[in-house]
């Protein structure tokens, strides 16, 4: 594994032509095969943190082949950690956090995730490659608990992503934004999200997405605590507000 990591981390050329050798690509593919092998899963698990960090660093490579292989490794590792078959599918309960992994297991990973979120939220300057990296970054933020001192920073970046020109990014960011709110702040968080009609349409749409998921979660909490059938009517409007 050490040799594969060294090969994958080797500096890549500034430009490559078709057919040029890229040992980094082969190393990343070999690592993915190791981590997805049922026979090697138990012995490879201690290396997941380092591999996640390595794969995340590859996501901003200027070479598409390295970036793509890094993304596939990243997704495979997330799938293994979170027990899902598709790294872009969201569970019904998006507030469930993984207990198998924390950012303390990979000290550099959160800084890399923040960098990926910031690159994706620099609209409209973001290259298309930045949006490729946003999805796995959001998945990790959604499912792995953040240190308290970084929650505000990450929440602001995720809210900026809610104004992405890409519809799917807006939806994923809005769901992730909900996971970054404290339970006691759910109701109070709606007012700051109300969009100014002078804002760009994508930003308005993203904030309405946030409000939608906040209200749905508030509805769920209210049902469980009060035993009422639906605090909101069938159109999502407040029916029994107290």
Residues 118-177 pLDDT 10s: 888 776 555 555 567 788 889 889 888 899 899 999 999 999 999 988 889 999 999 999
CA distances from 107 to 110, 128, 161, 231 (A): 7, 27, 24, 42
Residue that wins the pLDDT comparison between 186 and 103:
103
CB 89 within 8 A of CB 49: no
CA distances from 168 to 100, 144, 176 (A): 27, 21, 12
pLDDT digits (tens, 9 = 90+) for 32-80: 998 888 777 778 878 888 888 898 888 888 888 888 899 899 888 888 7
Query: What is d(CA 141, CA 211) in angstroms, rounded to the nearest whole number?
Result: 19
Residue that wins the pLDDT comparison between 130 and 186:
186
pLDDT of residue 96: 67
183 pLDDT band, cuts 50/70/90, is low
Residue that wins the pLDDT comparison between 41 and 31:
31
Place of tokens 């029916």: 239
205 pLDDT band, cuts 50/70/90, is very high
- Tell me the two tokens of residue 187: 């109701």
Residues 6+ apart with CB under 8 A from 138: 117, 158, 161, 172, 173, 176
Mean pLDDT of the chain: 79
CA nearest to 71, candidates 86, 54, 59, 79: 59
Query: Can you give the pTM of this predicted structure?
Result: 0.74
CA 26 to chain centre: 26
Residues 6+ apart with CB under 8 A from 187: 218
Residue 189 has φ and ψ, to the nearest 5°, of -80, -10
Instruction: State the DSSP H helix or E strand holding residue 219, giving kind and residue range, or none if neither.
Output: helix 201-226
187 pLDDT band, cuts 50/70/90, is low
Residues 6+ apart with CB under 8 A from 51: 5, 31, 35, 73, 77
CA distances from 210 to 105, 171, 201, 231 (A): 30, 8, 14, 19
Q: What is the DSSP string of 146-194?
A: PPGGGHHHHHHHHHHHTT-SSHHHHHHHHHHHHHTS-GGGTTTTHHHHS
Place of tokens 């019904």: 92
pLDDT of residue 84: 56
């Amino acid at each position: 594994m050490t040799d594969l990591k060294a090969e994958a981390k080797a500096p890549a050329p500034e430009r490559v032509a078709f057919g040029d050798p890229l040992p980094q690509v082969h190393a990343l593919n070999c690592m993915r095969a190791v981590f997805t092998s049922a026979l090697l899963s138990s012995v490879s698990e201690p290396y997941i943190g380092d591999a996640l960090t390595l794969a995340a660093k590859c996501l901003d490579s200027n070479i598409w082949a390295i970036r793509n292989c890094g993304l596939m490794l990243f997704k495979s590792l997330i799938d293994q950690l979170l027990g899902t078959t598709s790294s872009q599918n969201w569970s019904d309960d998006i507030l469930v956090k993984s207990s198998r992994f924390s950012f303390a297991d990979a000290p550099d990973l959160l800084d890399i995730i923040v960098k990926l979120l910031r690159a994706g939220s620099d609209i409209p300057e973001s290259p298309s490659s930045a949006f490729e990296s946003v999805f796995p970054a959001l998945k990790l933020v959604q499912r792995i608990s953040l240190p308290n001192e970084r929650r505000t920073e990450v929440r602001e970046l995720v809210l900026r992503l809610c104004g992405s020109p890409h519809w799917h990014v807006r939806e994923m960011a809005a769901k992730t934004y909900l996971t970054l709110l404290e339970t006691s702040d759910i109701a109070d968080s709606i007012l700051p999200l109300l969009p100014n009609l002078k804002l760009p349409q994508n930003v308005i749409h993203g904030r309405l997405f946030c409000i939608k998921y906040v209200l749905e979660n508030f509805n769920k909490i209210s049902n469980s605590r009060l035993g009422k059938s639906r605090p909101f009517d069938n159109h999502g409007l407040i029916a029994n507000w107290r």
